């Protein structure tokens, strides 16, 4: 079952959904954003939608991640791999809390929302994929970052502007692939 709508409604920057699990992480955050994309009603879980979306990550995003991994290694930050690094052979139903899914670990899991995260001494990142039904069927992809030190601040100076291009591009690539 395809999750993409027939129409070409835009991917919008919107507030983080108040009833989402990630909303509890907004207080004191140093960076957050949320993008919403209309989808056809689907029985797919939020985790399956996340896996479907990141499986279609544009090549330029993976090249940026590879560059990021090389540069940040010089400063003691983790090599995260690629956004689409999750196993394509592993079904969403096999994942449990704490499991690694590509560059993130599962922090919260329900049919309607998956909250993924990563944390080190420099920053804490949370990413949510939340299925929405009201006022229309959509998915909201939210990111919340808490910075712990100067190196984390410098890192986010470079990452934040690029992040605002990456999420809509990944969602757009997913929508284009499912509509084809």
Supply the CATH number for residue 35's domain: 3.30.530.20
Do strands 123-132 and 138-147 pair parallel, antiparallel, or not at all (unpaired)?
antiparallel
Structural domain tally of the chain? Answer: 1
Q: Is residue 134 part of a domain?
A: yes
The answer to whether the CB of 160 falls within 8 A of the CB of 82 is no
User: Is residue 42 domain-resident?
Assistant: yes
- Omega prior to 135 cis, within 30 of 0: yes
In order along its 180 residues, the chain shows pLDDT tens digits of: 444 444 567 899 999 999 999 999 999 999 999 999 999 888 999 999 999 998 888 889 889 888 888 887 787 777 777 666 676 678 898 999 999 998 899 999 999 999 999 998 889 999 999 999 877 889 999 999 999 999 899 989 999 999 999 999 999 988 876 543
The answer as to whether 6 is a domain residue is no
Position 9 scores a pLDDT of 75
Domain span holding position 16: 12-179
Q: Give the pLDDT of residue 87.
A: 66
What is residue 71's predicted lDDT score, i.e. its pLDDT? 85
pLDDT computed for residue 68 by the predictor: 83
Q: Confirm whether 152 is domain-assigned.
A: yes
Q: Does residue 4 belong to any structural domain of this protein?
A: no
Domain membership flag for residue 5: no
Looking at residue 80, its pLDDT comes to 75
Instruction: Show the tokens assigned to 155.
Output: 């890192």
1 within a domain of the structure (yes/no): no
Asked whether residue 103 is assigned to any structural domain, the reply reads yes
Closest CA to 69 of 60, 79, 84: 79
């Amino acid at each position: 079952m395809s999750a993409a709508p027939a129409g070409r409604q835009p991917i919008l920057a919107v507030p983080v959904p108040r009833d989402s699990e990630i909303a509890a992480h907004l207080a004191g955050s140093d960076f957050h954003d949320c993008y919403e994309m209309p989808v056809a009603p689907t029985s797919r879980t939020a985790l399956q939608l996340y896996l479907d979306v990141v499986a279609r990550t544009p090549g330029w995003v993976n090249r940026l991640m590879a560059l990021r991994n090389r540069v940040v290694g010089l400063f003691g930050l983790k090599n995260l791999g690629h956004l689409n690094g999750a196993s394509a052979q592993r079904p969403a139903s096999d994942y449990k809390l704490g499991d690694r899914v590509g560059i993130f670990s599962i922090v919260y899991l329900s049919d309607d929302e998956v909250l993924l995260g990563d944390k080190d001494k420099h920053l804490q990142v949370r990413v949510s994929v939340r299925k929405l039904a009201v006022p229309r069927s959509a998915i909201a992809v939210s990111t919340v970052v808490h910075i712990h030190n100067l190196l984390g601040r410098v890192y986010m100076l470079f990452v934040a502007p690029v992040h605002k291009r990456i999420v809509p591009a990944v969602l757009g690539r997913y929508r284009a692939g499912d509509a084809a």
